[in-house]
Amino acid sequence: MLPIDSLAYSLAHAAELVAAVLEGANLTDAWEGALNANPRWPDATRGAVRDLVWSCLRAYGRGDAVLRGLLHKPLPTELHALLLVALNRLESHPQQAHTVVDQAVDAAASLIPALKGVINGVLRNCLRNRDALAATVESDLAARYRHPAWWIKRLQHSFPDHWEAALAGGNMHPPMALRVNRQRADIPGTVAALRAAGLSVRELDNGALVLDTPVAVTALPGFAEGRLSVQDAGAQWAARWLGLETGQRVLDACAAPGGKSAHILEMAPVDLVALELDPVRTQRIRDNLARLGLAATVRTADCRNVAAWWGGRPFDRILADVPCSASGVARRHPDIKWLRRPEDIRRFAAQQAEILDALWPTLAPGGRMLYVTCSVFDDENARQIAAFCARHNDARRIDIDGQPDRQFLPDADHDGFYYALVEKTA
C-alpha cells in the first residue's frame, strides 16, 4: 500500500487516468470518476494527481518520442502511461530525477509488480542518455510542438505567420479570467476587492479580469454572492458583439454551462431562451443563473429540431456557440490532442452546418446571428460561415470591430475562439 502523501501514490493514480485517455476515455469523465472513487483524497493529493495528468497530456508527443528509442516491445497501457507521466515529471523537475525514478518504480510495483524492473531500467536509461534523447525530441515535429502532426500542419497552412505562437499558447497553463456581474457589482469595486484579498489582477479591453495566479473560487470575494463568475476572457466578447438592446428576444442555442447566457442577461434586460441537448448540462445552466440572480427560459432540446421547441415567434438575436473540435481550449482539456482525428473536424463541420441552417428561419428580418466556436481550424470557422452565406441569399456579413470576423488564437490572456456576425436582410 502506497502512502497517500507520496509521489508514488500520485504517479500511480495519474497513470491510471492517462491510461484511460490513451484507451479513448474523456478526461473530464475519468477525473470525476477518480474523485468519486477517492472522496477522502486530501487537497494536496488531489492537486498532485491532477497536475501530473494535465501536464503529461499537454506534453503530447514528447514521451512517445523518447520511448520509441527505449522500449523494445509494447508495455501494458497502465505502465506505458506511467512512463509518460514519469518522463514528463523528469523533464519538469530535473533536480528530482532520482526521487522520481525511485517513486515511479514503487508506483509500478503497485500496478504490475512483475514489470517494475522494466520501469526502473527505462527511466535510468533515459537519465543516462538525456542529451541524445533531447535531440530526438527536438527533431520530431509532434514532440517539439506538443501537438499532433496533422494539427500542426493545419495551423501552418492557416496561420503562416502565427502558427508557432498558436501552438505555444496551446501548451501554456490557461489563465484564470473573471467576469463581473454588472447587475450586482462594478469592475473598479471588484478589482479593489480582489486586490484587498491579496490577488493580483489586470483588466482587459472587454472588461474581463485576469488573475496572475489561479485560485479556488472559494478564495474569490463576491463569488458566492454572485458578483462575479469564472469565464475565459475570449468568451466574454460574445455578449458584447451581439448588439443587445432592452426587450430583445434572444436565443442561446447551445447554452451549457451557461456562462454566455448569464453574460447576456447581465448586459441587457432581454427575453432569453437557452437551449441545451443534455439534461445534466441543462441543470448546470439553471444553477449558474440562480447563483447570479438571473432568469431565462431554459429548455432541454436539440436546437436542430426546431419544431420541438420553437413556437414561431422570431428572435432578434441568436447566439450560435456551436459544438466544435475545441482545439482552441485544448490546454484546458489536453485529452483533446490525444483523441481528436482529422475526420472529427469534418464531422463537427457537418453538424455546425445543420445547426446554422436549422436556426436561420427562427431569426427575424433585420436580426443578427453571432456564430462562435472555440476552434482554431478553418473548416469550422471562416470556411463554415462562408459556406453558410453562400447557401442563404438573405444572409449578410457584418464586420466585428472593423474586421470581417475575429479569430483569437490561444495566448496568455485567452483561449482560442472564432466569431462571425451575420444579419438577416429579409
State how far the Cα of 31 lies from the Cα of 240, in Å rounded to an integer: 34
How far, in Å, CA of 11 to CA of 27, rounded? Answer: 16
Does the global pTM surpass 0.85? Answer: yes
The answer to whether 402 touches 396, Cβ cutoff 8 Å, is no
pLDDT digits (tens, 9 = 90+) for 375-388: 999 999 999 999 99
Catalytic residue among 254, 303, 324, 374: 374
Pick the CATH number of 7-142 from 1.10.1040.10, 1.20.120.340, 1.10.940.10, 1.10.540.10: 1.10.940.10
CB-hemisphere CA count at 13 Å for 193?
A: 16
Please give the grid coordinates belonging to residue 144.
517539439
CATH, range 176-231? 3.30.70.1170
- Domain-wise residue ranges, the chain: 7-142, 176-231, 233-424
Domain 233-424 has what CATH class? alpha beta
**With bands split at pLDDT 50, 70 and 90, how would you rate the model's confidence at 426?**
confident
Give me the mean pLDDT over the 149-167 stretch: 98
The verdict on whether 389 is a catalytic residue reads no
The pLDDT tens digits of the residues spanning 164-222 come to 999 999 999 999 999 999 999 999 999 999 999 999 999 999 999 999 999 999 999 99
